Chain A
Amino acid sequence: MYQSFIGLEIHIHLLTKTKAFCGCTSEFGAPPNTHICPVCLGYPGVLPAANEEAMRMSYMVAKILHCTLSPKCYFDRKNYFYPDMTKNYQISQFHDPVGRDGYFDIEVEGEHKRVRIHDVHLEEDAGKMIHSGKTSLCDYNRAGTSLLEIVTEPDLVTGKDAEAFIREFRRMVRHLGVCDGNMEEGSLRCDANVSINLQGQGLGTKTEVKNLNSARFVRKALEYEIKRQKRVLTKGEKVIQETRLWDGDNNVTAGMRTKEKAHDYRYFPEPDMPPFCPDDAFMAAVDERMVELPLAKKQRYLNDLKLSLDAAEFLVEDSKFCDLFEAALALESSEPKLVANWLCGDVQGQLKRADVSLEESHISAGRLNELVGLVESGKLLRGKAKEVIELIINDDKDPAVIVKEQGFEQVLDESQIDDWVKQAIDGNPQAVEQIQAGNKKTLSFLVGQVMRFSKGKADPKKATEKLEQALGL
């Protein structure tokens, strides 16, 4: 029986304002070669200057991954020629990276797995190239942006493991606020190493799979690659150590045709930047920005706050929802389940309908509590809550104010409801006949009439009760 070993190399773009070693903005989507300067273009005479925020974020990730943090890290030059790299060496870390020997816990189909982290290192990204006909075109906007590379040990076994790792890791970096996690745009990239071998024989000859721009592709490509390697070994052939590209259209991996070329990165310490030794102030700033890991958060929501699995999973998917949720609970001792349900339900639904993100909207923890309170105390009809949320999103007003302005208060005056009930019965003799003949469904028509007279402000439950009473049901 074969055993499989998967290791991942994940690259994340750090959410710094500027590039790793120069003051160019690291925004995406600008016209080609607008965010360039002599430094990131590798002009003669320029020097790199390390970005404090990039260093801080790197230590944050290394710390949350339980790595041993380097008391003295420095950059190395990794030498190889490629046109997307302006200096023809990449500033990276090799000998003494930010962190080493950590781990990250994931959950695969309910089962917890611990994946060891080999190292976390900070480096610079390369530019982008477009190939057309006889020429290639280089855009260096991305060149020199800060990239954090996380290398796992080959502890993952299946494509599903790898997919779960990517999803959990993505949640983590988003919660930490160091990366937007967008795989399609390449802010989070993943290469996978995979080998198989007979049980108990250790690692086999590995292949490296690239071009995996979604978590699903990571799973599919690895499942394919494991099957392919099994076929090769079963035939008595040998797996060739190579880089293979995932072809998402045909669902296969294919070997890259590479030219026979000597490879030797000749790493040596980057002389232009001194070693960095994190001091107490730096580490305090790192600690201040540490967050609870999403997986731990989910467990806490389930076990301590008794949220439903759906609600817990929905919330941890987006740290902004978690933050709002926890802020609301901190403000008022509301029922967690209730607050969570409103967030996952109507709040999320209305945001989606309005195509507004939570941060852009005017929803706050205080307003969320107020809304829940109005409904619970019967001052606002459930059916009107959606409209209130819609108005908060766009108008920046408190729920109580909206309810008042819009006249959304529930009518609690019994005699007023009695009048509408009478009006409904008197105005619809046919319906009354049908009900009394045993067609109970028609009752809802009369309830609807009462609601119409009340412009929606009556409590439909109360209206039903009163109608039944009046009709002697």
Chain B
Amino acid sequence: MTLLQGWKGVLSDDRTKENYKQYVTGWEEKIHSLLEFDIDRNAESAAAGPLAGVPFAVKDNIAVKNFNLTCGSKILETLNSPYTATAVERLQAAGARVVGKTNLDEFGMGSSTDNSALAQTNNPWNLNAVAGGSSGGSAAAVAAGLVPFALGSDTGGSVRQPASFCGCLGLKPTYGSVSRFGLVAYASSLEVIGVLAKEVDVMEAVYDIIAGRDEKDQSSVARPEVAPHTEIKKVGVLRQIAELSPAIEAAYQAAIEQVKSLGLEVVEIDIPALDYVVPAYYTIATAEASANLARYTGIRYGHRTADDSSMEQMVAASRNEGFGDEVKLRILLGTYVLRSGFQDQYYIRAQKIRTAIRNGFDEAFQAVDVMLTPVFPTQSFLRGEGELTPFQQKLADKFTAAANLAGIPALTYPTGVAGGLPTAMQLLAPDFAEHRMFELVRRLTDEQGNIAPVGYDEGWRK
């Protein structure tokens, strides 16, 4: 199969462009995954290259010059980005073209994309269900076939969880292996730009293009010259996993059986520190967020209140009007855990637990080549009844956020459909072993067939 066949000519002539627009518009009336959509903006950037002429979408907390950079927030609703993120530049250099910016939970803070101040994104499988978050727009757009791939950002699961909710692949690369330059910071030491795609080959190609050290991001790291071996013999599973929904529990057991059927050995792993993933993750994430979001004051760019009565009043009111409740809550929590007198018991302690978690994974990967875990305890949830409270949603980040604390790569893949919504599982691997996960996913999904919502593709690409 040639990579991205059917996508490369989409933007090349008026007829296919019109078809494409119609297809996207049709879906968008239902799912609202894109905050901006324009197939002709930045058209000049489409160069020759492996992705020549391929459209893609970018989460709206990643900078693309000439597009907005709203972060799903009122405070940046009118900001047009004056520059482009390194990861996007690399894709543009490979010939791909940004056609839209995707919706997200405000500043990446949430697990449903319902925390966006600008639009409500629906799950393409069920319009009453959430797309997941925070990269819900990217997940929905890919799942509905609006783009072959999209960029997201993953701070505690923000690529993987919505990918699992919408039935596409989600990759959180090794921390630092993809430049964060141009990714609007939420929790700098945890997050990385990730990839959402339908096909593992596409995901791999995109990852290979965007990965690599960037002079503009001094926390970025070079991939080792020799990639860690991809041969997989042993797969680790966590000894104690509780509180999974019945559908996810069933999918998990089925996935373990499938691993065994591939002739791989399943090894039980115990990392006690994982019990503290959620508090450690939220302590560090909110602490960093409190500083990262201090720059939004209405002085240099972004929303500014009409209240000019004093400097303090102007700043406080601009922030008050510009930020949503969840963002305010996290800024306050982060400010609190850094305060003198509290820092040791919260922030420093969380950083030490982070070390314990990292040590736990290092030890585990002595025994196994990859690990298999659930992504989220539930499938996508319906709005209204049965909805998880914001607090329950945070507790449910335990499987995904572990990888962010440890810095290791993780990949989620769809395993099937239950009750009309996709199920998914997660693979975890040592630093820079992304290709080991691509390889295993290829084998695990080989005979799976297309997991897609009704209305996907419809043969519009001729």
Which A residues have a C-beta under 8 Å from some C-beta of B? Answer: 38, 41-50, 77, 79, 81, 83, 86-89, 136, 138, 140, 264, 266, 268, 271-274
Contact between chains at A44 and B339 (CB < 8 Å): no
Asked whether any CB of chain A lies closer than 8 Å to the CB of B347, the reply is yes
Q: How far is the CB of A78 from chain B (nearest CB, A)?
A: 10
- Decide yes or no whether B335 CB sits under 8 A from chain A: yes
Instruction: Enumerate chain B residues within 8 angstroms of A89, measured Cβ to Cβ.
Output: 291, 294
**A138-B189 Cα distance, complex, nearest whole Å:** 31
Task: Give the top 5 A-B pairs by smallest Cβ distance, nearest first.
Answer: A88-B294, A271-B189, A266-B338, A271-B188, A44-B184
CB distance from A39 to the nearest CB of B (A): 9
For B295, what are the chain A residues with a Cβ–Cβ distance below 8 Å?
Answer: 42, 44, 86-88
Tell me the bound Cα distance from A87 to B300 in angstroms: 10
- The answer to whether A268 and B338 touch across the interface, beta carbons within 8 angstroms, is yes
Closest beta carbon of chain B to A469's beta carbon, Å: 82
Bound complex: CA A86 to CA B296 (Å): 9
Tell whether, in the assembled complex, residue B219 and residue A266 are in contact, meaning their CB atoms are under 8 Å apart.
Answer: no
**Sample of 14 further A-B pairs with CB below 8 A, known A44-B79, A136-B311:** A38-B83, A42-B295, A43-B301, A45-B62, A45-B69, A45-B182, A46-B182, A79-B291, A81-B315, A86-B300, A266-B335, A266-B343, A272-B217, A273-B219
Q: Which residues of B contact A41 (CB under 8 A)?
A: 300-301
B452 on the A face (CB < 8 A) = no
Secondary structure type dominating chain A contacts: loop
B11 lies within 8 A of chain A by Cβ: no
Q: How far is the CB of B216 from chain A (nearest CB, A)?
A: 6
Contact present for A268 and B297 (CB under 8 Å): no
Query: Taking CB as reference atom, which chain A residue is nearest B220?
Result: A47
Query: Is residue B91 within 8 Å, beta carbon to beta carbon, of the partner chain?
Result: no
B61, B291, B300: the one within 8 Å of A268 (CB): B291
Q: Scoring B residues 301 to 343 as 1 if CB is less than 8 Å from chain A, else 0, what string do you get?
A: 1000000000100010000000000000000000100111001
Residues of B within 8 A of A79 (CB): 290-291, 294, 338
| Cα–Cα distance between A140 and B217 once the two chains are bound (Å) | 22
- Complex: how many Å from CA A41 to CA B81? 13
**B218 near A264 (CB under 8 angstroms)?**
no
Bound complex: CA A271 to CA B219 (Å)? 8
Query: In angstroms, how far is the closest chain A Cβ from the Cβ of B372?
Result: 30
- Chain B nearest Cβ from A271, distance in angstroms: 4
Complex Cα distance A79/B290, Å?
Answer: 9
B interface secondary structure, majority? loop
Q: Mark B69-107 against chain A: 1 for CB-CB distance below 8 A, else 0.
A: 101000010010111010000000000000000000000
Closest Cβ–Cβ distance, residue A350 to chain B (whole Å)? 48
Assess whether A272 is in contact with B218, with CB atoms less than 8 Å apart: yes
Point out the residues of chain A lying under 8 angstroms from B300, CB to CB.
Answer: 41-43, 86, 140
Closest Cβ neighbor of A87 among chain B residues: B295
Count of B interface residues, CB-CB < 8 Å: 43
CB-defined contacts of A264 to chain B, threshold 8 Å: 339-340
Q: B191's closest neighbor in chain A, by CB? A: A271
B215 in the interface (beta carbon within 8 A) = yes
Residues of chain B within 8 A (CB-CB) of A268 are: 287-288, 291, 338, 343, 347
What are 5 A-B contacts with C-beta separation under 8 Å?
Answer: A44-B71, A83-B311, A87-B291, A140-B300, A272-B218
Q: What is the 8 Å Cβ interface bit string for chain B, positions 170-190, against chain A (1 contact, 0 not)?
A: 000000000011111100110
What chain A residues lie within 8 Å of B180 (beta carbons)? 47
Interface presence of B238 (CB below 8 A): no
- Please give, as numbers and ranges, the residues of chain B lying within 8 Å of A50 by CB-CB distance: 218
Contact B184 A272 (CB under 8 A): no
Distance A83 CA – B181 CA, assembled complex (angstroms): 24
Cβ contact of B63, chosen from A45, A86, A266, A273, cutoff 8 A: A45
Q: Cβ of B339 and Cβ of A274 under 8 Å apart?
A: no
Tell me whether B183 and A273 are in contact (CB under 8 A).
Answer: no
* Complex-state Cα separation, A243 to B82, whole angstroms: 40
Closest to B287 in A: A268
By beta carbon, the residue of chain A nearest B180 is A47
Assembled-state Cα–Cα distance A193/B216 (Å): 39
- Tell me whether A87 and B83 are in contact (CB under 8 A): no
Whether A49 touches B294, Cβ cut-off 8 Å, given contacts A43-B82, A44-B63, A44-B79, is no
Task: Note all chain A residues with C-beta closer than 8 A to B301.
Answer: 41, 43
Smallest beta-carbon distance B66→chain A, Å: 14
Taken together as a complex, chains A and B put the C-alpha atoms of A48 and B180 apart, in Å, by 11
Contact B347 A81 (CB under 8 A): no
CB 8 Å contact bits of B339-367 with A (1 = contact, 0 = none): 11001000100000000000000000000
User: Which chain A residues border B339 with CB–CB below 8 Å?
Assistant: 264, 266
A44 pairs with B218, CB closer than 8 A: no
Contact B294 A274 (CB under 8 A): no
Residues of B within 8 A of A42 (CB): 295, 300
| Distance in Å: Cβ of B319 to nearest Cβ of chain A | 10
Question: Known contacts A44-B71, A50-B218, A274-B218; is A88 also within 8 Å of B297 by CB?
Answer: yes
> With A81-B297, A86-B300, A89-B294 as given contacts, are A47 and B217 in contact (CB-CB < 8 Å)?
yes
**Interface residue? B222 (CB, 8 A):** no
**From A38, which residue of chain B is reached at the shortest CB distance?**
B83
B262 within 8 A of A: no
Given the known inter-chain contacts A79-B294, A79-B338, A274-B219, please indicate yes or no for A45 contacting B299, CB distance below 8 A.
no
A45 touches B294 (CB 8 A): no
Give the most central of A89, A266, A273: most B CB within 10 Å: A266
Q: Which A residues are in CB contact (< 8 Å) with B297?
A: 81, 83, 88
- Bound-state CA distance A273–B218 (Å) is 5
Among residues of B, the one whose C-beta sits closest to the C-beta of A44 is B184
Min C-beta distance of A21 to chain B, whole Å:
9
Q: How far is the CB of B262 from chain A (nearest CB, A)?
A: 39
Of all chain B residues, the one with the shortest Cβ separation from A22 is B216
Question: Which of A38, A41, A44, A140 has the most chain B CB within a 10 Å cutoff?
Answer: A44
Q: Which of B85, B215, B340 contacts A45 (CB 8 A)?
A: B85
Interface contact B188-A272, CB-CB below 8 Å: yes
Report B102 CB to chain A, min CB distance, Å: 15
Return A28 CB to nearest CB of chain B, in Å: 21
CA A412 to CA B119, docked complex, whole Å: 99
Which residue on chain A has the smallest CB distance to residue B341? Answer: A264
The residues of A that contact B62 with a CB separation of less than 8 Å are: 45
Contact assessment for B69 and A49 in the assembled complex, using a CB-CB cutoff below 8 Å: no
- B residues in contact with A266, CB < 8 Å: 290-291, 335, 338-340, 343
